[in-house]
Structure formats: C-alpha cells, structure tokens
Amino acid sequence: MATEYARSASDEAIAASSRQSALPSAGQTTVSDGIAVIQLTGPLTKGFSWVTAISGGTSMLMAGAQIEQAAADPKIKGIMLQIDSPGGTVDGTEGLARVIRAAGSTKPVIALASGTMASAAYWAGSAASAIYIDAGTTMVGSIGVVAKHVDISGLESRIGIKTTEVTSGKYKRIASMHEPLSDDGRSTMQAQLDAIYSLFVQAVATNRGASVQTVLDRMADGRVFIGQQAIDAGLVDGFATASEVLSRLRAGQQPQRKTTTTEKKTMTISEAKQAAVAEVGRGGTPAQYQAALDRIMASSRRPEPSGVATGPTDEEKIAKASAYAKQHGVDLVAGLKALGFAK
C-alpha cells in the first residue's frame, strides 16, 4: 500500500523536499505535528507503472489511498498536498479529485504547487479546499485534453507491408493507425475529447466555486498561467510557502477560496459550443446540445444602445440559422456560417 507516515518530519525537511527533484519524494507521505503532507509529483498515472518507476511519477490510486487514510486518522488535523506535476493520464484523475474533495469535507486540505500544476494535476489539485503557489514562476493550468493519431501506413508501404483490419461494429478501429485519419475517425476522436473536456471544465467550476462560463472565459483554453496570472484568473488563491501552509493548518484556519467572477460578454460560436458541451456533459443528445447552444448564445448577447442601427440580434440570427439548418439538414453552426453570421 502507500508509504507509511514518517512521524518525525520537520517543517524544514518538508520545505526542502518541495525544492528538490520529484524522484526521491514521489508518492511519499510524511506527518508534521498532526498535518499529513502528501506528494503528487512527476507524471500522474492511475497505477504504478514503468513510467512511474523511471520518472519518479505518482500512482493516483496510491495517492488516493494515502489521502483517505489521512482523512480517516483522528490524529491528523489537516492535509497538505505538495504538487509538482505536468499532468498525466485521464484514467484515474477524476477518481483522485473525488477523493481529495471528499477528504476536504472532513478536514482542511490545502494544495501547494511548486514548479508546475498542470492538466491532470490541476484537475486533481482543484478539488482541494484551497490552492497556493510558492513562487512567481510556478506554472498552473493547461486545462484541456489531447489525443494523438499516428498514421504508419506510409512507413508500412515503404517497407512492403500492407495491413488489413477486419472489424465488426461501425466504430471499431475508426481511427486505425494503419490508414490516414478519416473524417469519421477525426469526428469520433473529437467527440471523445469534448466529453472529457466537459467533465474537466465542470469539475474545475464545482471545485473552484465558479460558473462553467467563468471557467471557459478565464481558465480553460489550454493555456499555462504563470504565477500572478494564475491568481488573477482564479486558478489559485495566492502565494504561500510550505511553512505558511503548515502553520495555517495547525492553527485550524479554514481555507478561503478566491472568488472568481467574469464580466458578461458576447460569446463566439466556438466558445458557445464549448459551453454547451460542458453544460450538457457526457451522453447528451444532439437536441440537448442544440438547446444548450441556443440558450447560451441568447443569454450572452450584450444589450445594444437605444437609437443605434444594428444588424440582427443574436436571437434573430439563431432563429434564422435554425430554420436554415432544418431546411438543409445541417447543424446550427453550419447554418450560421451559411448565412454569414459566423466565420
């Protein structure tokens, strides 16, 4: 199971560990005066793998077990998560975030980012009761999902190999590496990424106490935010050292999240589509996505000053594009483009 607690850890040793390489400390747990300090360092993988062993990464299952153990231990007053990770696999991240959030309902959990807290590491860390960074150069964010398609058909052709795959089921091997990526393969991969992205955005919104729209507007475009940028965007709550976090937890101070709001603005079609995916979530029907898109576009419209001649309102554009889409058998976005309302 997870590494047992080392009861003699000092603040100095803990602070020093946050400045060292992830290799010796990944996955370790120490305890300092009733505060459990749990490391989430290096690449995050669901279980212990060769990547974890070579790179000094963290098993999310093992880290989750350590957090649950600390949350259940009556001698532990709070938990500090020391995070220095570029991210990791999709599989395991949602579960780890759920464990962190559950632990935070019983005792304070503070995440301290040192170096990098990006992608999957941010998804997990966002579930803490509060998040701090220890330097102005700490990198945070990278909210998004990526998948790769590798086409080796050209290589196979050059060395005289031809691979034929026989499948059952329309989507089996829809994005095979033995042929160029087809339109159907690309759209299938994109739909999968959009589903995961919607879960990511919704989780950050829930964990940070922000609206989905705020997350989309300010945090979730795939960017990495540096230091103060991350604070301004609402990704983290401020600067702190390891010693300061430990002191707050020992004093029983309740962590305070930074309140994040966003000014309402007219959304682009691309932003509206992302918001619709995030709102409806996994398993939505085309009709549900369309209804969400219509509602989001309508609600994002800025009021026009009276007496100023303008073109069609967003509601009118959507209504016209919807009628066009139904008549020509296309989706709303294609209708908006066909009518010149979108690029």
Task: Number of helices (H) and strands (E) in the chain: give both, helices first.
Answer: 14, 9
Find, among 10, 93, 34, 31, the residue nearest to 59 by Cα.
93
Q: Domains along the chain?
A: 11-142+221-250 (3.90.226.10), 269-338 (no CATH)
> Which residue's structure tokens are 């707050």?
248
In this prediction, residues 275-285 reach a mean pLDDT of: 69
- DSSP assigned state of 20: S
The rounded distance, in Å, linking the Cα atoms of 175 and 222 is 24
Per-residue pLDDT at 100 exceeds 90: yes
| Strand, helix or coil for residue 81 | strand
Per-residue pLDDT of 41-56, as tens digits, reads: 999 999 876 666 676 7
Range name among 23-37, 78-92, 133-147 with the lowest pLDDT average: 23-37
Q: Which residues contact 87 (CB under 8 A, 6 or more apart)?
A: 43, 44, 118, 119, 120, 121, 122, 142
**More confident: 327 or 65:** 65
Q: Give the pLDDT of residue 57.
A: 87
- Give the percent of the chain with pLDDT over 90: 43
Q: Give the pLDDT of residue 317.
A: 63
Q: Which residues contact 325 (CB under 8 A, 6 or more apart)?
A: 331, 332, 334, 335
Q: Token digits for 228?
A: 């103060």
Q: Is 119 in contact with 88 (CB distance < 8 Å)?
A: yes
Q: Give the pLDDT of residue 132.
A: 96
pLDDT-derived band at 212 (thresholds 50, 70, 90) equals confident
Q: Is 53 in contact with 47 (CB distance < 8 Å)?
A: no
**More confident: 312 or 59:** 59
Per-residue pLDDT at 72 exceeds 50: yes
Q: Give the pLDDT of residue 330.
A: 59
Per-residue pLDDT at 199 exceeds 50: yes
Per-residue pLDDT at 122 exceeds 70: yes
Give the H or E element holding residue 29: strand 29-32
